Amino acid sequence: MILWKNRPANVTPQGPPSHKDQKLPGKEAQKKAKDAAEVKKEQPVLETEPIKKDVPAGTTKESPAPAAEAPQPEKEPPKKTYIIPATKNDLFLLARLIEAEAEAESFIGKVAVGAVVVNRVLHHSFPNSIYEVIMEPHQFESVANWRLDSIYQPSPESLRAAEQALLGADPTYGALFFFNPQKTYNQWLRQKPVKLSLGNHLFVG
């Protein structure tokens, strides 16, 4: 045991510091951080609106380009339905007859000549095909005088007229005959009721 010598009366011996007086390292810093967090939590949060950029008048915001559509297959044009059986050769032959019989006539006059042929195909008194009707003896002047054979390529208008007749166009109201009254003196034809007078032709029967 060590005794203090000559110790002043008012001096109290000091021992090692107690645990209460010791400050743990970092404890004060942790407390400050905790207090700061509580203060921050109590502060109201101010909501801010997004900044709007001025857009010049007449313009719009760019939008993503629409996705390109897949190419669609081309639709086939609807098939034309003739009122009588007819091939491309029949169409061509009918157009040649129209050209030979009504070259100087209007488009309707050409359709009318084609309609007479179609009406005959549909009638029980005549053959049932375009070729047989046209080539039947003593029926069409252009066949009898060989003019039909001289026409190798009918005009586009005659081809259209033939197609219209095959599709059912009939401005003659069902006529089975036609003739030029300035050139024909056949009384049998002249006695038939006239259904249409068009251009240089009378359509009868």
Q: What is the pLDDT along the chain (205 residues), one digit of tens a residue?
A: 444 445 445 545 555 555 444 554 556 656 666 666 565 555 555 555 555 556 555 555 556 666 667 777 667 666 779 999 999 999 999 999 999 999 999 999 999 999 999 999 999 999 999 999 999 999 999 999 999 999 999 999 999 999 999 999 999 999 999 999 999 888 999 999 999 999 999 999 9
Residue 124 lies in a domain: yes
157: number of Cβ within 10 Å: 17
pTM for this one? Answer: 0.63
Query: What's the CA gap between 83 and 19, in Å, rounded?
Result: 120
CATH code for the domain in which residue 99 is found:
1.10.10.2520
Nearest Cα to 175, choosing from 136, 135, 132, 118? 118
Q: What residues make up the domain containing 142?
A: 88-170
Number of domains in the chain: 1
